[in-house]
Amino acid sequence: MNPNLDRLHPYPFEKLAQLKAGIQPPASLSPIALGIGEPKHASPAFVKDVLRDNLDRLANYPTTKGTDELRQAIADWATGRFELAPGTLTAADHTIPVNGTREAIFSLAQAVVNPIPGAKVVMPNPFYQIYEGAAFLAGAEPHFLPCEADQHFIPDFEAVTSEVWDRCQILYLCSPGNPSGSVIPRDTLKRLIELADRHDFLIASDECYSELYPDENNPPEGLLQTCAAIGRDDYARCIVFHSLSKRSNLPGLRSGFVAGDARVLKEYLRYRTYHGSSMSIQHQLASIAAWQDEDHVRENRAAYREKFDAVVPILSEVMRVSAPDAGFYLWPETPIADDIFARDLAAQQNVHVLPGRYLSREVDGRNPGENRVRMALVAPLAECIEAAERIRTFIQEQ
């Protein structure tokens, strides 16, 4: 077996299940799940219609590269959303459909990393655990950058040494961040592009929460948008990941895309032809419909906005918490250790959250996720309000 498999950590939800083993929440309180970031809003009816109307396409082998129509829909959406120069992000060379960003984030590292001694994959801490697993199984070492409150939960990239940047082969970004929801500003992205050029590494930006933001007139900046702003129309050393899971409430469709540097994507596509990850035709057709519609996305944002407006004031009475720049998570401080908080909250109030330490790694004696929990406001509005009220009661009773 690949010995790097032994380096993989248990997934956060495995740890959470062990933490809560044996507890008996009050039978009088229905469970409310805020731990898993699985959207619960209704999937668009028109997407279901496309799927149903094209079930006969199950008889067709899909191509790894996807249909011309889907890649064009992706290129058109990204060009409009991120204010790219027309024709610079082409369907043929700059986009690849993928079966959700999770598998793409993982497989990109397998295609890109040269596993020489000392190879590093740099990532935020806390982080989406796929970044770490991708690094291990590609034969590289993860290098963690703490995301602390005094930096608005954005890594202090200037504190990274030249030696680390020289060994870096991929820098994973997550903006808006998971779990903080913080958005990396343009000036920081420009600086990272300069570093990528100087030290010859790839920036891989996970932007799957980019379409969940509070101000309709102020969408989050994306990496390709920064490229466009500085005239980097070849998107060299820049790759982004986007998904329909959060944007369109379609996590089960497993549909997303990778876009950016054509040179990298040409080799990544070659890898994928062996990897065998092709999106089914009916899912491609449904994806086209989703990428071409914004009305359902605006409705989705409005629903999350309503939940944040209702929940944050309740929690603010007993916790230090604020609404995120974007995304659907809260990242509040806990009055006691985060794992004990999560366990006892489940036991006493049947509300389920994820301990922050499970999303982080300890570096130099410090785990930046400690004394925080991640709350995903994915449940219906009434349940989110009830969960906030139960959390307030739980803390007041401590």
**One domain, residues 66 and 173:** yes
The per-residue pLDDT for range 15-72, each reduced to its tens digit, is 999 999 999 999 999 999 999 999 999 999 999 999 999 999 988 899 999 999 999 9
In this structure, the answer to whether residues 191 and 322 fall within a common structural domain is no
Residue 286: what pLDDT? 98
Give the structural domain span for 113. Answer: 59-293
- 273 and 314 in a common domain: no
DSSP state, residue 34: -
Within a domain: residue 177? yes
Question: What mean pLDDT is predicted for residues 115-133?
Answer: 97
Q: Has this prediction a pTM greater than 0.75?
A: yes
Tell me if 54 is assigned to some domain.
Answer: no
Instruction: Decide which of 248, 264, 293 is a domain's last residue.
Output: 293
Q: Residue 60 has what pLDDT? A: 87
Q: Are residues 146 and 178 in the same domain?
A: yes
Q: Is the pLDDT of residue 276 over 80?
A: no
Say yes or no: 220 and 243 in one domain. Answer: yes
Pairing of strands 238-243, 202-206: parallel
Mean pLDDT of 4-25: 93
Q: Give the tokens for residue 396.
A: 């007041």
User: What is the dihedral sign for C-alpha 235, 241, 243, 246?
Assistant: negative
Asked if residue 277 has pLDDT above 90, the reply is: no
Quick check: is 87 in a domain?
yes
List CB contacts of 342: < 8 A, sequence separation 6 or more: 16, 19, 20, 35, 352, 353, 354, 355, 373
Number of domains the chain is built from:
2
Q: Does residue 276 sit in the same domain as residue 354?
A: no
Indicate if the alpha-carbon torsion angle 47, 52, 54, 57 is positive or negative: positive
